């Protein structure tokens, strides 16, 4: 607190990111990073770009990366927007598309940054409760609204919605922007990018932080109708016209070009997810079905807080949200390497 803060700063409720601990030898399963490093071709691309050209500003449109993404999804580069992590892309979406006279709708249990952006940009919102089994039910969003956003799969539950449900929502909801936040889609779902040609109010966001192992570079994207992308570009150019640096553009392009590396890394995570869910079930845990690179799980005999603390004492960090009450006993556990997952299970055995 400082007397120099404006009342606006004093009243903000910022997002609290998962801990990035400094201690070595921790098993870090709390922020959904990929357990394996990026493609060697990505590292080569960064090295090749690290030369005298760094004195020059990067391409303000990140054209090379937008073209690589467009090639990958067989769409036009004009339908692609990139930013410094999908958090920044989402921030622009909230600022530029969701400040409407009607409230924005999103799930009551979801990515907690959505509420933070509403606070930052003064956006009126209404949360829509997840149903009994913690799934999103899109028919509950049939209300007048200034926009709709939800992750698919949802975070922190990991639960996936079928594309048919999303398309049905888009058929009903034609007068406001619908954003599908696909931070985790590569681990088990079908992307709504397939629908963008048919629905001019659909925006799909993705990140290279999870399935493409590049959380440290901060690259995110949005895909949608050209007019929506143009709106986001107007916001970007009123905020920071060079958001992605040269190294990020080169690395992001190489990441989309090395599909083999992406697939094998993703498949390993999916295989380990199956293994971990099985191990948790053997120990009495109740785990939601997950299409993401994490699981959301609870044990009927132990509180979530105790388990998180007990794991931490053994050097294993997982995410425990504590609130709201409905999810107070759940842990969100990122899928690690086979070795990390075994360490987690051994640590749980000592606790149970
Ligand atoms: C649902 C969801 N959306 C967006 C993000 C932001 O990802 P990034 O800013 O790393 O691209 C996250 C990060 O954890 C997330 O869980």
What confidence tens digit (pLDDT) does each residue in 101-111 have? 999 999 999 99
Note if the bond before 156 is cis, omega within 30 degrees: yes
The mean per-residue pLDDT over the stretch 288-307 comes to 98
Residue of 87, 153, 252, 291 to test ligand 1 pocket, by largest number of atoms within 8 Å of CB = 87
**What is the average pLDDT value for the chain, to the nearest integer?**
97
Which residue has tokens 């392009």? 253
* pLDDT of 19 over the 90 cut: no
Q: Which residues pair with 283 in a beta bridge?
A: none
Distance 86 CA to ligand 1 centre (A): 6
pLDDT at 89: 98
The pLDDT of 116-138, averaged and rounded, is 97
Burial 106-132 (b: 16+ CB within 10 A, else e): bbebbbebbbbbbebeebebeebebee
CB 91 within 8 A of CB 112: no
What are the residues facing 117 on neighbouring strands? none
pLDDT reported for residue 219 = 98
% of the chain exceeding 90 in pLDDT: 96
> Which of 15, 209, 335 to mutate for ligand 1's pocket (most ligand atoms within 8 Å of CB)?
209
232 with 222: CB under 8 angstroms?
A: yes
The percentage of the chain sitting over the pLDDT mark of 70, rounded to a whole number, equals 100
Q: How far apart are CA 182 and CA 163, in angstroms?
A: 12
Atom of ligand 1 nearest to the CA of 86: 11
- Identify the pLDDT of residue 130: 98
Which atom number of ligand 1 is nearest to the Cα of residue 155? 1
Task: Note if the pTM is more than 0.75.
Answer: yes
Q: Distance between the two ends of the chain, CA-based, in angstroms?
A: 42
Q: Which residues surround ligand 1 with Cβ inside 6 Å?
A: 32, 85-87, 111, 151, 155, 181, 183, 207, 209, 215, 220
Q: What is the pLDDT of residue 305?
A: 97
| CA nearest to 291, candidates 161, 166, 134, 112 | 161
CA of 206 to the centre of ligand 1 (A): 8
- Contact yes or no for 180/205 (Cβ under 8 A): yes
* Ligand 1 nearest-atom number relative to CA 210: 10
pLDDT band at 23 (very low <50, low <70, confident <90, very high): confident
77-87 per-position pLDDT tens digit: 999 999 999 99
352 or 22, greater pLDDT: 352
Taking the C-alpha atoms of residue 170 and residue 202, their distance in angstroms, rounded to an integer, is 8
Determine the Cα–Cα distance for residues 176 and 149; give it in Å rounded to an integer.
11
Can you tell me which atom of ligand 1 is nearest the CA of 220?
A: 11
Burial classification of residue 239, based on how many CB atoms lie within 10 Å of its CB (0-12 exposed, 13-18 middle, 19 or more buried): middle
């Amino acid at each position: 607190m400082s007397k120099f803060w404006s009342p606006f700063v004093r009243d903000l409720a910022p997002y609290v990111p998962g801990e990035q601990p400094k201690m070595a030898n921790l098993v870090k399963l709390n922020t959904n990073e990929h357990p394996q490093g990026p493609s060697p071709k990505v590292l080569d691309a960064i090295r090749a770009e690290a030369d005298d050209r760094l004195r020059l500003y990067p391409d303000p449109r990140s054209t090379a990366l937008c073209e690589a993404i467009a090639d990958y999804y067989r769409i036009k580069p004009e339908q692609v927007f990139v930013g410094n992590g999908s958090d920044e892309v989402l921030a622009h979406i909230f600022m530029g598309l969701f400040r409407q006279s009607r409230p924005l709708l999103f799930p009551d249990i979801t990515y907690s940054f959505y509420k933070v952006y509403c606070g930052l940009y003064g956006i009126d919102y209404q949360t829509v409760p997840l149903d009994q089994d913690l799934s999103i039910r899109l028919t509950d969003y049939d209300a007048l609204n200034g926009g709709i956003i939800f992750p698919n799969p949802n975070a922190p539950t990991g639960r996936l919605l079928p594309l048919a449900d999303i398309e049905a929502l888009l058929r009903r909801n034609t007068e406001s922007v619908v954003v599908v936040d696909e931070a985790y889609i590569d681990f088990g779902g079908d992307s709504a990018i397939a629908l963008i040609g048919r629905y001019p109010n659909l925006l799909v966001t993705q990140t290279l932080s999870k399935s493409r192992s590049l959380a440290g570079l901060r690259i995110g994207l949005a895909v949608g109708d050209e007019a929506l992308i143009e709106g986001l570009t107007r916001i970007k150019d009123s905020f920071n016209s060079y958001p992605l640096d040269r190294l990020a553009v080169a690395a992001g392009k190489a990441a989309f070009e090395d599909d083999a590396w992406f697939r094998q890394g993703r498949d390993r995570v999916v295989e380990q997810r199956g293994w971990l869910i099985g191990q948790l079930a053997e120990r009495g845990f109740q785990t939601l079905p997950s299409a993401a690179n994490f699981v959301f799980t609870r044990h009927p005999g132990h509180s979530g807080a105790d388990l998180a603390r007990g794991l931490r004492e053994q050097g294993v960090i997982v995410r425990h949200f504590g609130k709201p009450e409905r999810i107070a006993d759940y842990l969100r556990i990122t899928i690690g390497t086979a070795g990390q997952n075994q360490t987690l299970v051994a640590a749980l055995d000592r606790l149970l």
